[in-house]
């Protein structure tokens, strides 16, 4: 079974057709990279998959669970929407950490709110709730350690470098254990010399078998970490294949142009 | 006529200013929030109506609004205002709510879209995003402009004398009518001291919220 199925996804902004029928599947534990020139619709695709944007037509299935279906007229309930939301995680180009909270709180906040609600709904005792919250704290510490920021637990985002902030953002997404973790150019806002620390974290996650969907301009990284590479052009998937196929033996003329342009840069 | 006597008289007047000040704050903050949500409403008629309201309130003198609230209910609807103080409080609350609402709106709109989106992709509800993510950031941003506005309010309370409320400056004017000018200038001390305390308070709040940047 595919962990992600995207079927005939279309999206327009006004009269601009940005996605013109995207179809692809992703297998569990695989890393898929999306490359393509600026304006080809990569971010829009990721935003549709993660629920930040509503596609005009098409269907998205995550782990057998339909998270979006344009043909479905009934609006999802609040609980359903949240369930759909939690199927995917997203790491933004610009981190978007919560500035008023420490690293620890940035990572625990969403999970805490979730667990508090659950405990309330199930009428758990105060002690049980406390234990559940302590558990979150513990797992947050583990996850923060895994991105190499144990010494920054009580620091605020403004006290961190860009690379460190992005690693916190990854930890924040991981604690909710999404079925697919999406990245939108996770290193584009970083100075070249610190992209490495973020890429190292993603590489490690790939090694652990995380399912990830990564929009990136780092061709070397995409080649090394991906099981599959998707090349988008003008709102469609113009080519897809293994890194070797896409980078060494590109069939599509646009892809060839794109690759030679990025190599020259 | 002793200094103590003048001070007591002026303090009695200043009590009216303080009354207007505190009641206006208490009323204008929640009312201002309602106006803010109205002015940001996606339902166009509501938004348009609220924007017109803000335009009128901010575009006309508070003095005129005081007269309007005092006289219009009696002249137009046949329900005269029960007391001048009620009229003053209503006028001040409406006026300051309009100003506050614009500060609130500016604060809310200054929060980057990414903060809401980050909350959403983490599965938070809209309410949670507002209260847990956005609110404190908004408060941090509006403390300085609210401080300015609130200090202006302290001084504006003196306008209530145009509808014959015996506030601080009116109390001093009575002395001036009898040839004693100095109590008029003495009133400045009352404003200065009270606003000084408020400035300290706002400075303290700003410092409290200074633990993070952004
Ligand atoms: N909210 C929006 N409203 C209108 N147009 C939009 C919106 N979001 C994106 N677009 C347009 O859709 C097109 C695709 O944008 P998108 O951000 O998906 O491209 P991208 O492939 O991520 O590009 P980049 O590599 O520059 O990030 C662009 O032409 C953009 O101007
Ligand atoms: Mg993009």
Does the pLDDT value for residue A148 go beyond 80? yes
Q: At B109, is the secondary structure helix, strand, or coil?
A: helix
- Distance (Å) from CA A43 to ligand 1 centroid: 7
Mind listing the pLDDT tens digit for each residue in B150-204? 999 999 999 999 999 999 999 999 999 999 999 999 999 999 999 999 999 999 9
Cβ–Cβ contact B111 with A under 8 A: no
Distances in Å between the Cα of A9 and the Cα atoms of A23, A54, A139, A233, A239 are 7, 10, 36, 14, 16
Binned at pLDDT 50, 70 and 90, residue B130 comes out as very high
Closest atom of ligand 1 to CA, residue A37? 25
Q: Residue A94's pLDDT is what? A: 96
Which pair of structure tokens corresponds to residue A172? 């924040």
Contacts of B129 in chain A (CB under 8 A): none
Average pLDDT, chain B: 95
Cβ–Cβ contact A107 with B under 8 A: no
Cβ–Cβ contact A52 with B under 8 A: yes
Contacts of A173 in chain B (CB under 8 A): 121-122
Give me the interface pTM, i.e. the ipTM.
0.94
Mind listing the pLDDT tens digit for each residue in A14-39? 999 999 999 999 999 999 999 999 99
Q: Residue A62's pLDDT is what? A: 96
Closest ligand to Cα A47: 1
Contacts of A157 in chain B (CB under 8 A): 212, 214
Q: Is the CB of A33 under 6 A from ligand 1?
A: no
Give the distance from residue B98's alpha carbon to the nearest chain A alpha carbon, in angstroms: 29
Q: CA of B211: which chain A residue's CA is closest?
A: A100
Q: Is the CB of A41 under 6 A from ligand 1?
A: yes
- Nearest of A135, A210, A199 to residue A174 by alpha carbon: A210
Mind listing the pLDDT tens digit for each residue in A47-74? 999 999 999 999 999 999 999 999 988 8
Q: At A58, is the secondary structure helix, strand, or coil?
A: strand
Q: Which residues contact A233 (CB under 8 A, 6 or more apart)?
A: A36, A37, A40, A252, A254, A255, A258
- Nearest of B104, B205, B194, B203 to residue B152 by alpha carbon: B194
Among A residues 58-77, those touching chain B with beta carbons less than 8 Å apart: none
Q: Residue A55's pLDDT is what? A: 95
Mind listing the pLDDT tens digit for each residue in B31-45? 999 999 999 999 999
Give, for A24, the enclosing helix (H) or strand (E).
strand A16-27
Domains of chain A as residue ranges with CATH: 2-264 (3.40.50.300)
Does the pLDDT value for residue A5 go beyond 90? yes
Cβ–Cβ contact A143 with B under 8 A: no
- Distance (Å) from CA B126 to ligand 2 centroid: 25
The structure tokens 């983490």 sit at: B122
**Taking the domains of chain B in order of start, what are their residue ranges?**
3-211
Q: Is the CB of A125 under 6 A from ligand 1?
A: no
**pLDDT-above-90 percentage for chain B:** 95
Q: Which residues surround ligand 2, an ion (CB under 5 A)?
A: A 43
Which pair of structure tokens corresponds to residue B52? 């017109």
Q: What letter would DSSP give residue A10?
A: E
Does the pLDDT value for residue A220 go beyond 90? yes
Asked whether the beta carbons of residue A96 and residue B132 sit closer than 8 angstroms, the reply is: no
The structure tokens 């924007």 sit at: B51
> Tell me: domain B3-211, CATH 1.10.3720.10, correct?
yes
A-interface mutation test, from B110, B116, B120, B122, most A Cβ less than 10 A away: B122
Contact B73, B79 (CB under 8 A): yes
Q: Which residues contact A28 (CB under 8 A, 6 or more apart)?
A: A1, A2, A3, A63, A211
Ligand 1 probe mutation, A11, A15, A16, A48, most atoms within 8 A of CB: A16
B-interface mutation test, from A81, A95, A113, A157, most B Cβ less than 10 A away: A113
Q: Which residues contact B21 (CB under 8 A, 6 or more apart)?
A: B153, B154, B157
Binned at pLDDT 50, 70 and 90, residue A265 comes out as low
Average pLDDT score over residue span B63-92: 94
Q: For ligand 1, atom 25, which residue shows the shortest CA distance? A: A38
């Amino acid at each position: 079974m595919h962990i992600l199925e995207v079927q005939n996804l279309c999206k327009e902004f006004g009269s601009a057709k940005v996605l013109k029928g995207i179809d692809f599947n992703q297998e569990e534990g695989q890393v898929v990279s999306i490359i393509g020139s600026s304006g080809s619709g990569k971010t829009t695709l990721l935003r549709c998959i993660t629920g930040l944007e509503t596609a005009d037509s098409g269907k998205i299935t995550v782990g057998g669970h339909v998270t979006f279906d344009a043909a479905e007229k009934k609006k999802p309930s609040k609980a359903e929407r949240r369930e759909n939301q939690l199927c995917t995680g997203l790491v933004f180009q610009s981190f978007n950490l919560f500035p008023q909270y420490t690293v620890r709180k940035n990572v625990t906040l969403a999970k805490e709110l979730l667990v508090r609600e659950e405990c309330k709904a199930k009428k758990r005792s105060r002690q049980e709730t406390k234990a559940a919250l302590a558990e979150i704290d513990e797992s947050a510490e583990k996850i923060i350690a895994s991105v190499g920021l144990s010494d920054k637990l009580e620091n605020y985002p403004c006290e961190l470098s860009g690379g460190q902030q992005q690693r916190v953002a990854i930890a924040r997404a991981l604690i909710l254990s999404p079925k697919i973790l999406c990245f939108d150019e996770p290193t584009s806002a970083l100075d070249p010399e610190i992209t490495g620390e973020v890429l190292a974290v993603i590489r490690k996650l790939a090694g652990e078998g995380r399912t990830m969907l990564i929009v990136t301009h780092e061709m070397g990284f995409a080649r090394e970490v991906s099981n599959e590479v998707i090349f988008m052009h003008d709102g469609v998937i113009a080519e897809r294949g293994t890194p070797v196929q896409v980078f060494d033996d590109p069939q599509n003329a646009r892809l060839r142009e794109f690759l030679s342009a990025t190599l020259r840069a | 006529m002793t200094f103590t006597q003048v001070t007591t008289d002026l303090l009695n007047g200043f009590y009216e200013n303080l009354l207007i000040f505190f009641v206006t704050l208490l009323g204008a903050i929640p009312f201002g929030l309602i106006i803010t949500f109205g002015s940001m409403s996606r339902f166009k008629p509501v938004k348009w109506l609220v924007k017109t309201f803000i335009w009128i309130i901010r575009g006309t003198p508070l003095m005129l609004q005081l007269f309007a609230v005092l006289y219009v209910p009696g002249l137009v609807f046949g329900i005269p205002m029960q007391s001048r103080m009620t009229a003053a409080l209503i006028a001040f609350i409406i006026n300051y709510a309009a100003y506050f609402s614009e500060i609130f709106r500016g604060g809310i709109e200054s929060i980057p879209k990414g903060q809401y989106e980050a909350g959403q992709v983490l599965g938070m509800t809209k309410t949670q995003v507002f209260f847990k993510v956005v609110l404190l950031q908004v408060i941090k941003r509006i403390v300085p402009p609210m401080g300015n506005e609130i200090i202006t309010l302290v001084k504006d309370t003196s306008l209530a004398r145009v509808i014959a409320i015996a506030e601080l400056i009116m109390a001093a004017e009575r002395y001036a009518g009898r040839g004693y000018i100095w109590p008029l200038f003495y009133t400045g001390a009352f404003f200065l001291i009270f606003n000084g305390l408020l400035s300290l308070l706002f400075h303290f709040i700003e410092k409290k919220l200074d633990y993070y940047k952004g």
